[in-house]
Amino acid sequence: MSTLTATTPAFSRKQVLTAIYAAAVAFLTYTSVYAYRKPFTVATFDGLVFWGIRYQVLLIISQGLGYMLSKFAGIRFISELKRIGRWKTSALLIGTAWFSLLVFGFVPAPYGMICLFVNGFMLGFMWGIVFSYVEGRRATDLIGSAMAVSFIFAGGFTRSVAVWLRDGWGVPEQWLAFGTGMVFALPLIIFIYLLERIPEVDAADVRERTVRLPMSKESRLRFLRTFGGGVVAITVTYLFLTIMRDVRDNFMANLWAELGYGKKPAIFTQTETITSIAILIMMSLLVTVRKNIRALKMIHWVILTGFLLAGISSALFLTGHMSGALWMQLVGLGLYMGYIPFNCIFFERLIASFRIAGNVGFLIYLVDAYGYLGSSFVMLSKEIFQINLTWSEFYPNSVVIFSVIGVAGTLFSWVYFSRKYQSLTNS
């Protein structure tokens, strides 16, 4: 059951350069993809309310529902994805998502909800497509971490671009999303071309991380029968991580405004860049852990620490023992310490530990589907049940509760996969 052979060579100079190249390209590609997804949240559409719910929230929920449905569809689509023609699929998906933002600029409220639903559905497949270029490598921990922190950095950076278009160029709220997409259109074309130029995995990668193949319905069901208990624990844990991370991401502008930083657009990039660098360093160090099961156990402890950091900092903020700015920084760091591993390293090491001939996309999209379902439910609940709390009150209270559940789920997952590995190794 060993996942590391004694003959596995160290990284050559070419492999190191390939890893750096792949990490940079994956980071830049997904940062550009994010420009078509999140900048519209800068527009608050004050005064627009339909069915008792603010238009901004309806747009976020509509996009989230589309994104969620794409995750359910992606369980099959991404797991069966072939390696040929991925750039064409990417161009079609992003092109359609951008076109929906163009239509959004013309249609009156509340019909923009349809445009954002289409936008979310198309973009929901892009993570799995981009990650398929970099999985199954000995350096995937580094490459995947760089790609994953892109949506921490991109969440702030692309919003700063949108604020710049709004305040510097007078772009109306209705056109902010399309305008931001236009800024990133040419860079994205270049980065997708460079993504196609990433070298394929080599024999050493396959020996250490197993071969990555499309997964049929039968192979997916076989995996779930073997690891069902662990998958349930992971899904529940990730569900609460996604809710906390997604609410913070979608309503970041509202949170900063309530904390008194609404007129400082650079705050988005400054705080998220610090978090990005910290997470990238933390996750990249795992590439030095060659034994896959050991790395998998270490990832559990990183996630556990993230839940504790998010929960404790939120409790201190609620009791007046921490400033709003420091709380936003620490709660973001804690949540991404849990969220990032699931999107780049956790499943990569899980597949390698148990020598599964499959791909990461299936597992990511399986847990993502339920994660975004929960996120949409929470946002709707706050509006429908008219919870009389501001986002800066509602959110930290939710983080404290969900962090307790996340700690329990992470501990269960650690015990489950440790015992499963032992039983399969001894059999």
Asked if the peptide bond before residue 9 counts as cis, ω within 30 degrees of 0, the response is no
The better pLDDT of the pair 163, 385 is held by: 163
How far is Cα 3 from Cα 98, in angstroms, rounded to an integer?
A: 43
How far is Cα 284 from Cα 131, in angstroms, rounded to an integer?
A: 16
Where residue 115 falls among pLDDT bands split at 50, 70, 90? Answer: very high
Q: At what angle do helices 360-384 and 217-250 cross, to 10 degrees?
A: 40
How far is Cα 10 from Cα 3, in angstroms, rounded to an integer?
A: 15
Please list the residues that pair with 358 across neighbouring strands.
212
How far is Cα 146 from Cα 139, in angstroms, rounded to an integer?
A: 11
Q: Are 83 and 131 in contact (CB under 8 A)?
A: no
Token pair of 326 as six digits: 């420091």
Where residue 424 falls among pLDDT bands split at 50, 70, 90? Answer: confident
pLDDT of residue 3: 42
All structural domains of the chain: 13-426 (1.20.1250.20)
Of the listed ranges 74-88, 227-241, 384-398, the least confidently predicted one is: 384-398
Task: Write down how long the chain is.
Answer: 427
Alpha-carbon distance values, 190 to 3, 25, 86, 232, 382 (Å):
36, 10, 15, 39, 41
| Terminal alpha carbon distance of the chain | 10
pLDDT exceeds cutoff 90 at 82: no
How far is Cα 327 from Cα 315, in angstroms, rounded to an integer?
A: 10
What value does the mean pLDDT take over residues 341-369?
Answer: 88
Q: Highest mean pLDDT range out of 2-6, 38-42, 160-164, 383-387? A: 160-164
Digit-coded pLDDT (tens) for 205-256? 888 888 888 888 899 999 999 999 999 999 999 888 888 887 887 777 778 7
Of the listed ranges 100-104, 150-154, 354-358, the least confidently predicted one is: 150-154
pTM: 0.79
- Which among 374, 367, 289 is positioned nearest to 127, based on CA atoms? 367
Q: What does the DSSP 8-state code read for residue 174? A: G
Q: Are 158 and 38 in contact (CB under 8 A)?
A: yes
